[in-house]
Amino acid sequence: MPERDVAYLIVGGGPAGFSAARALRDEGAEGEVVIVSRDPDPPYDRTAVSKGYLGGGTERKDTLLGDAAWYAEHDVELLTRTSAMKLDTEAHTVTLANKEVLKYGKLLLATGANVRRLRIDGSDLEGIHYLRALANADAIRADTENAEHVVLVGGSYIATEVAATLTALGRKVAIVMQEDVTLERGFGPVVGGFFQKVLTDHGVEIHAGEDVERFEGSDGRITAVVTKKGTRIPADAVIVGAGVTPDVMLASRAGLTIGDRGGVVTDSRLATSAPDVYAAGDIAEYESVVHDGAHIRIEHWDVAETQGRTAALNMLGRDQPHDTIPYFFSDLSDWASMEYVGPAFGWSEEIVRGSIDDGEFTVYYLDGDRLAAALTVGRSDDLEQARELITSREPVDRAALAAT
């Protein structure tokens, strides 16, 4: 098969890939822009998968980041159900599963992440689910339709969101997690405790400080989750939210530098170790100018979107560092929402503004005297000030932060 020239090739149809294509056209890129995605669906809002789409309030078509008219208007070619199998950085080629060879001018790798699977006894029983794509949400909805007991494994935002969505649909839900308090690994016990109370107030049963040892089943189907402490939780269906690993298969086989956090190492311009190859989104272990040049990897929607745009600008030769402060959001049904700005790093002190009991508060995470991050429930206006403080790196006034 003859090679085909593509000026701008994007591998990955998630938010990073889509926003790169959009930015390339918005910024006047000339020549072909091609997105290769192994998904059956065009790029869509993955954050809806555990929220509105799983709950049934958001239709599939409303999750799409662009409809067919968008691709036509922007002259972006989208190849769905198409895997990139091989990258040759010297020849500047990507070979697709159908053996077609695309010769790129600039390449963006935005291959995202895959769910981490539990390898324990019973993990191949029917009724055990993982959640990453729209099709997973379809399967979970169908499989929990008549379930009496649904068990969520994990205490992070995916497990808590799904627990809330399914409870709102009328399912009886339990969470089993290693953490003592939901969400505490990412956001600390104060915030975690607030969201845990929201969940238990709505009837979610929590099994904290527990490690799942095995799944039990009957006739090939899950019946219970058993923990190392011997707790046995009845289950007609299980959804595991045990984190993700960056999908660096293509990149590592091609010899690109992979970092300590398992991602594709980039500089602050999101350029990888190979010429004309960039990386963005969940796979990018990027040199962050807002984190004193540390290499970090963040699995947030907004980070993927903004990095897609930065990568596009650099593919156009604009020499643009990625200097956006990471932003994250999460919703527990329509019960409570959080917004967070800052790195996913450690902190030494928390200062609370507002009232946790009233569900309107902001938590400021301090690293020494500097603001490292902030999380708000119901006080979005505080985020702008937090962004300014994080960027300025000035010592904070603790009393002013606590004042409402």
Distance of CA 229 to the CA centre of its chain: 31
Asked whether 401 and 382 are in contact (CB, 8 A), the reply is: no
Tokens of 30: 């000339």
Distance of CA 352 to the CA centre of its chain: 26
Sketch the per residue contact string, 256 through 295, with ligand FAD: x for CB under 6 A, - otherwise.
Answer: -------------------------xx-------------
Q: Which of 50, 144, 165, 182 binds ligand FAD (CB under 6 A)?
A: 50
CB of 55 to ligand FAD, least distance (A): 12
Q: Which of 8, 9, 10, 15 binds ligand FAD (CB under 6 A)?
A: 15
Asked whether 311 and 20 are in contact (CB, 8 A), the reply is: yes
Site for ligand FAD in 222-251 (CB under 6 A): 247, 250
Q: Which of 64, 74, 83, 321 binds ligand FAD (CB under 6 A)?
A: 83
Nearer CB in complex with ligand FAD: 110/224: 110
Size of site (CB under 6 A) for ligand FAD: 36
Q: Which of 32, 39, 88, 138 binds ligand FAD (CB under 6 A)?
A: 39
CA 389, CA 290: separation in Å to the nearest integer? Answer: 12
CB of 270 to ligand FAD, least distance (A): 12
DSSP H or E stretch at residue 89: none
DSSP H or E stretch at residue 100: none
Q: Which of 8, 194, 328, 365 binds ligand FAD (CB under 6 A)?
A: 328
Contacts of 71 (CB under 8 A, 6+ apart): 42, 77, 78
CB of 232 to ligand FAD, least distance (A): 28
Among 139, 160, 144, 132, which Cα is nearest to 235's?
144
Name the one range near ligand FAD by CB under 6 A: 195-203, 300-308, 314-322, 354-362. 300-308
Three-state DSSP string of 343-372: CCCCCCEEEEEEECCCCEEEEEEEECCEEE
CB of 138 to ligand FAD, least distance (A): 13
Name the one range near ligand FAD by CB under 6 A: 221-229, 312-320, 325-333, 367-375. 325-333
CB of 64 to ligand FAD, least distance (A): 13
CB of 220 to ligand FAD, least distance (A): 26
CA 404, CA 400: separation in Å to the nearest integer? Answer: 8
CB of 119 to ligand FAD, least distance (A): 20
Q: Which of 329, 350, 379, 385 binds ligand FAD (CB under 6 A)?
A: 329
Q: Does 11 bind ligand FAD (CB under 6 A)?
A: yes
* Count of C-beta atoms within a 10 Å radius of residue 380: 12
Q: Does 46 bind ligand FAD (CB under 6 A)?
A: yes
Q: Does 163 bind ligand FAD (CB under 6 A)?
A: no
Tokens of 201: 């107030």
Q: Is 9 exposed, middle or buried (0-12, 13-18, 19+ CB in 10 A)?
A: buried
The contacts found for 385-389 with CB under 8 angstroms, 24 or more apart, are 386/341, 386/342, 386/362, 387/325, 387/341
Name the one range near ligand FAD by CB under 6 A: 1-9, 14-22, 140-148, 311-319. 14-22
Sketch the per residue contact string, 97 through 116, with ligand FAD: x for CB under 6 A, - otherwise.
Answer: -------------xxxx---
Q: Does 313 bind ligand FAD (CB under 6 A)?
A: no
Task: Report CA-CA distances (Å) from 98 to 42, 84, 85, 359, 393.
Answer: 19, 9, 9, 53, 51
Nearer CB in complex with ligand FAD: 147/304: 304
Residues that bind ligand FAD (CB under 6 A): 11-17, 36-39, 46-47, 49-50, 83-84, 110-113, 131-132, 158, 247, 250, 281-282, 299-302, 304, 328-330
